[in-house]
Amino acid sequence: MPTKNAGDLKLWQRRTQRESLFHWMLWLIGIAIFAYCWQQISASTTWFFVWDAPRIATDIWTRATPPRWEYIAQLGKPVWDTLNIATLGTIFALILAVPIAFLAARNTTPSRFIIRPIALLIIVSTRSINSLIWALLLIAIIGPGVFAGVIAIAIRSIGFCAKLLYEAIEEIDESQVEAIKATGASRWQVMAFGIVPQIMPAFAGIAVFRWDINIRESTVLGLVGAGGIGLQLSASLNVLAWPQVSLILLVILLAVVISEWVSAKVRGAII
Amino acid sequence: MLRLEKLVKTYKTGDQALKAVDLDIPEGQVLALIGPSGAGKSTLIRCINRLVEPTSGKVYLGDVELTGLSTGALRRERRRMGMIFQEYALVERLSVMENVLSGRLGYVGFWRSFLRRFPQSDVDEAFRLLDRVGLAHMADKRADELSGGQRQRVGICRALIQNPAVLLVDEPTASLDPKTSRQIMRLICELCKERGLAAIINIHDVALAQMFVQRVIGLRFGAVEFDGPPEGLTPDVLTTIYGEEDWEATIEAVDDDDDNDLEVAAL
């Protein structure tokens, strides 16, 4: 009890004596672990490279500036590929995510003990593996190129979209669904009139949000050979063509800024 | 018209919401169901169109017994029971017109309804109903732009466009101000009269119920405690339904309010 009686006064403290002792112990242990880790990390760091870092960084900076502007002519196609990977990947993901979300949501799943766990498993498993790793796997299966990138992005996005969508489905207002049921509507009509209008804003928000993330993810897919601007980036890095690298980074930055702007506009318009 | 026989509902938690309720509603009769919260009013209404599955007992709508129907047959019978809800239960993001037309879903195939290609006769009827409740100019507004009273009017249109034989009305005025409550109750009762509809109206405002209906059922702990005309609601009766309270004020207030209301209506 944090209150105790001292004569007529009732004293109140946030924690009892035991609690505050325990609290101090936790802090002590935390600080000890931090100090130990600090020591370990500095022991295994080659400090020469660290002290050298500013000089190397300036060196790369001088080599990378100014960017090689004329190289932009060769970047049009890869940027277009990147955009397509992100967009097509998002569309495929949404097509697959919608039914999975309906199967996973507690209030719409046809079977709570068999189908729902399967849907949840699909969501977790597709979400848990990074798109770069999916791309590596898919390149081995269907060969390098844009298509592998599209599929990698699509698979990675299914879980994300389905999870957010099924949470939206579980949060709908049931009375609206009840009202549609009471008119004698069929199962599919109840879905189209009672549920879909309620989750439309969430769906649109999820779609543009994921598209925005996928633009960023698809820029690196080329590093493993799955098409897009990452391919140019890894080629330039391999030959130490720093002015090209800096131009590519600028282009990626621009693409991401534009995609953020577009998704913010779309979300604003829908919600 | 509508007959309940020994209707029982026991929830999974063991709560007995309805204890063998018997009720017979003739054609065209408007009936108010009163009772304290938790008396089983909502459950009773929902057991009729099986939004809540009754545990046992029978419900007859005309000659059809509802509790034993298959899903498809139940859907066909639900078309004959219009329902009006406490919080309106309109689909907020659809337009007023779409909400009204959704009352026809039981009659229209999936693709036609999905593409919003309802038969012209349905659209005509929707406009007629909206005009009747004074909302013809609101047809293209989104449902969430409307005020409470307007939304409930749309809810009424949605129930009526089903061309029902009976109206199930669940606390139609609980979210409305006193004046709008009366207007809505009056509208429901007028429409029932025009169309010869039977109706069960759940309502917790005793005074409002007395004003508009021909018959009152008092429910307490899932059993019928009172069944009679509104004048029969004496302080003693209200005490058996709701428990001890000074009821004189409530009942007197009814008459006063009634006069005022008539004046308001005349204006």
One pLDDT digit (tens) per residue for chain B, 267 residues: 899 999 999 988 888 888 889 999 999 899 999 988 888 889 999 999 999 999 999 999 988 999 989 999 999 999 999 999 988 899 999 999 999 999 999 999 999 999 999 999 999 999 999 999 999 999 999 999 999 899 999 999 999 999 999 999 999 988 888 899 999 999 999 999 999 999 999 998 888 888 889 899 999 888 898 899 988 888 888 888 888 777 776 664 444 444 444 444 444
**Record: contact B75-A188, CB cut-off 8 A:** no
Nearest Cβ partner for A189 among B98, B110, B158? B110
CATH topology of domain A78-270: MetI-like fold (1.10.3720)
Nearest Cβ partner for B114 among A181, A184, A192? A192
Closest CA to A182 of B189, B89, B109, B187: B89
Percent of chain A whose pLDDT exceeds 70: 99
Pairing of strands B215-220, B223-228: antiparallel
Interface of A with B in 155-174 (CB under 8 A): 173
Angle (CA) B15-B78-B86 rounded to 5° is 60
d(CA B14, CA A271): 43
**Record: contact B113-A183, CB cut-off 8 A:** no
pLDDT bin (cut points 50, 70, 90) of residue A60 is confident
CATH topology of domain B1-80+204-266: Rossmann fold (3.40.50)
Tokens of A249: 């980074």
* A–B interface: beta-carbon pairs under 8 A: 80
d(CA A265, CA A204): 12
Looking at this protein, which amino acid is placed at residue A173?
A: D
Nearest-CA distance A181 → chain B (Å): 8
Chain A residue closest to B71 (CA)? A186
Mutate to test the interface with A, among B105, B117, B166 (most CBs of A within 10 A): B105
ipTM of the modeled complex? 0.87
Quick check: B35 and B41 in contact, CB under 8 A? yes
Pairing of strands A3-6, A9-12: antiparallel
Angle (CA) B181-B183-B187 rounded to 5° is 115
pLDDT of residue A124: 92
d(CA B161, CA A55): 79
- Tell me, rounded to whole angstroms, the distance of Cα A254 from its chain centroid: 19
Nearest-CA distance B250 → chain A (Å): 32
